C-alpha cells in the first residue's frame, strides 16, 4: 500500500467504492467498503491525497480524513461526469474521480467547517458586543 498516490472514493449511503492509483496513474487497488471498514482501511494507509465528489456526506468524510492525516479534495460532480468512460457503476465513478483529481487544472471545493465552528462564526457575527472590522 506504500505505492498508492491517489485514492478516489465514490460515496454512497451504506457502501463506499474506492479506486487507488500509483504515481503513473495505474490502478493498484479497487474494493467496496462499509463506513467503519473504510475508516479502518484508511487509518492504515500512509498519508495520501483522497478525492471525492462533493455532496452532503463528503464534508463529514473530509473532516474525518484530515484527522487521519490525509489530504482530502472535493470535486463538484459536474466536473467528474466527463471522465466516466463506460457504463456507469460505482467502481467506474471512483476511477473517474481519480482521473478528474489528477488533472492539474481541476477546481476543487472547500470542505465546510464542522457545526461547532459554524455556530462560533454565527455568534461572532450576530453579537452586538463584537465589532466587525
**pTM for the whole structure:** 0.80
Picking from 100, 121, 105, 117, the residue whose alpha carbon sits closest to that of residue 66 is: 117
List all residues 6 or more positions away from 51 whose beta carbon is below 8 Å from its beta carbon.
6, 7, 8, 9, 72, 73, 74, 75, 97, 98, 100, 101
Number of other CB atoms surrounding residue 57 within 10 Å: 15
Over residues 95-111, the pLDDT tens digits come to 999 999 998 888 888 88
How far apart, in whole angstroms, are the C-alpha atoms of residue 75 and residue 102? 11
Cβ pair 70, 58 in contact under 8 A: no
Picking from 78, 108, 72, the residue whose alpha carbon sits closest to that of residue 96 is: 78
Over residues 21-38, the pLDDT tens digits come to 999 889 999 999 999 999
pLDDT value for 85 = 81
Q: Which domains does the chain have, with CATH numbers?
A: 6-126 (3.30.420.140)
Cβ pair 49, 66 in contact under 8 A: no
Q: Which of 85-94, 97-106, 107-116, 118-127 has the lowest mean pLDDT?
A: 118-127
pLDDT, mean over the chain: 85
Amino acid at each position: 500500500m506504500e505505492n498508492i498516490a491517489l485514492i478516489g472514493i465514490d460515496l454512497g449511503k451504506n457502501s463506499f467504492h474506492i479506486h487507488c492509483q500509483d504515481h503513473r496513474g495505474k490502478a493498484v487497488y479497487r474494493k467496496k467498503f462499509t463506513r467503519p471498514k473504510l475508516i479502518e482501511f484508511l487509518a492504515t494507509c500512509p498519508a495520501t491525497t483522497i478525492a471525492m465528489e462533493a455532496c452532503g456526506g463528503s464534508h463529514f468524510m473530509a473532516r474525518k480524513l484530515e484527522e487521519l492525516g490525509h489530504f482530502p479534495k472535493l470535486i463538484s460532480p459536474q466536473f467528474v461526469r466527463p471522465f466516466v468512460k463506460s457504463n456507469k457503476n460505482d467502481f467506474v465513478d471512483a476511477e473517474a474521480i481519480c482521473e478528474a483529481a489528477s488533472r492539474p487544472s481541476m477546481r476543487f471545493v472547500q470542505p465546510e467547517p464542522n457545526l461547532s465552528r459554524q455556530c462560533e462564526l454565527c455568534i461572532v457575527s450576530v453579537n452586538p458586543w463584537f465589532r466587525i472590522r
